[in-house]
């Protein structure tokens, strides 16, 4: 920290935002610092070489991002439209600061929505036998378009390790329960059967193990005995939207760090 802050100070870095975290247990130090390029002593191209020896000296893992480089996200959808529309609306209002070059779906249902927004819609029907080849094709497509982030906006297919390995900590999912409660399929049905008094939603990075990846954001909303499963689903919608869009915003603004299957979130 001393080294980084001295480096910034000496180069006239006007710090806009700074966050740190000390994980006492694991002895790891986390830091996120955002400063203005204007007035900074080093030019873009000079930054990485200037920082490298510093980072090396303290054996730090590090990334450098420029906020005017717009990340490129692909949305994966199936049939439910609420998270899809919510992301498109936030995209349109400029809140998320990303490009959406393409949409992927295992069904045709939401093609019309994608077309309304003028975003190319790619249909990859998936069966047990076609899954490997279709996922390969998807990965090729994502790479061809320079995709930085995959957002599963209620995408109803389990990704294989092929896909999760191709985009480590760059695939964000929304699961419609308060994980680790009710993992897997039909969580609202399970929640209803159990008679819970709150339903939840969890946004997490997708890893090899389904619903086990690092959690980015969670939320809950109250339910009661008078709510049917349909009511759970309806009440859950607003929650899923808000939890997913928060997670996406945090990721795009480089406010998430992953360590030991947990996230550090500089909210």
Q: Look at strands 121-123 and 215-222 and give their pairing.
A: unpaired
Instruction: Taking the CA atoms of 230, 125, 85 and 144 in sequence, report the sign of the dihedral they define.
Output: positive
Residue 180 makes contact with its own copies by CB under 8 A: yes
Binding mask 1-20 for its own copies (x = CB under 8 A): xxx-xx-xxx----xxxxxx
Q: Which uninterrupted H or E stretch holds 30?
A: strand 28-35
CB of 146 to its own copies, least distance (A): 26
Residue 196 makes contact with its own copies by CB under 8 A: yes
- Alpha carbons 235 and 222: distance in angstroms, whole number: 9
Q: Name the DSSP class of 159.
A: P
Residues 118-177 that bind its own copies (CB under 8 A): none
- Alpha carbons 219 and 244: distance in angstroms, whole number: 10
Residue 177 to residues 29, 117, 148, Cα–Cα distance (Å): 31, 29, 26
Binding mask 230-249 for its own copies (x = CB under 8 A): ----x--xxx-xx--xx--x
Q: Which of 109, 189, 119 is nearest to 155 (CA)?
A: 109
Pick the closer one to its own copies by CB: 96 or 159: 96
Q: Look at strands 28-35 and 215-222 and give their pairing.
A: unpaired
Residue 207 makes contact with its own copies by CB under 8 A: no
- Alpha carbons 51 and 65: distance in angstroms, whole number: 13
Pick the closer one to its own copies by CB: 83 or 142: 83
Binding mask 76-105 for its own copies (x = CB under 8 A): ----xxx-xxx-xxx-xx-x----------
CB of 251 to its own copies, least distance (A): 14
* Active site amino acids: 211
Q: Give the footprint of its own copies on this chain (CB under 8 A).
A: 1-3, 5-6, 8-10, 15-22, 24, 29, 80-82, 84-86, 88-90, 92-93, 95, 116-117, 178-182, 194-198, 200, 214-220, 222, 224-226, 228, 234, 237-239, 241-242, 245-246, 249, 261-265, 267
């Amino acid at each position: 920290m001393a080294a980084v802050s001295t480096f910034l100070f000496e180069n006239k870095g006007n710090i806009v935002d700074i966050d740190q975290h000390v994980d006492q247990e694991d002895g790891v130090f986390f830091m996120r610092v955002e400063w203005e390029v204007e007035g900074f002593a080093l030019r873009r191209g000079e930054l990485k070489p200037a920082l490298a020896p510093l980072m090396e000296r303290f054996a730090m893992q590090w990334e450098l991002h420029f906020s005017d480089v717009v990340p490129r996200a692909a949305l994966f959808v199936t049939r439910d439209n609420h998270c899809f529309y919510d992301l498109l609306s936030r995209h349109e209002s400029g809140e998320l600061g990303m490009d959406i070059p393409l949409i992927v779906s295992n069904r045709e249902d939401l093609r019309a929505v994608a077309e309304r927004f003028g975003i190319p819609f790619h249909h990859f029907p998936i069966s047990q036998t076609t899954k490997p080849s279709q996922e390969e094709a998807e990965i090729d497509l994502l790479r061809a378009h320079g995709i930085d982030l995959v957002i599963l906006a209620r995408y109803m297919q389990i990704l294989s390790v092929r896909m999760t390995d191709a985009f480590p900590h760059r695939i964000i999912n929304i699961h419609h329960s308060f994980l680790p409660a009710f993992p897997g399929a039909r969580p609202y049905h399970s929640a209803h059967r159990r008679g819970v008094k709150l339903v939840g939603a969890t946004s997490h990075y997708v890893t090899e193990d389904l619903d086990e990846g690092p959690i980015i954001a969670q939320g809950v909303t109250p339910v009661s005995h008078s709510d049917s499963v349909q009511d759970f689903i309806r009440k859950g919608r607003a929650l899923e939207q808000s939890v997913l869009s928060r997670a996406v915003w945090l990721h795009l603004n480089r406010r998430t760090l992953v360590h030991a299957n947990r996230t550090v979130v500089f909210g």
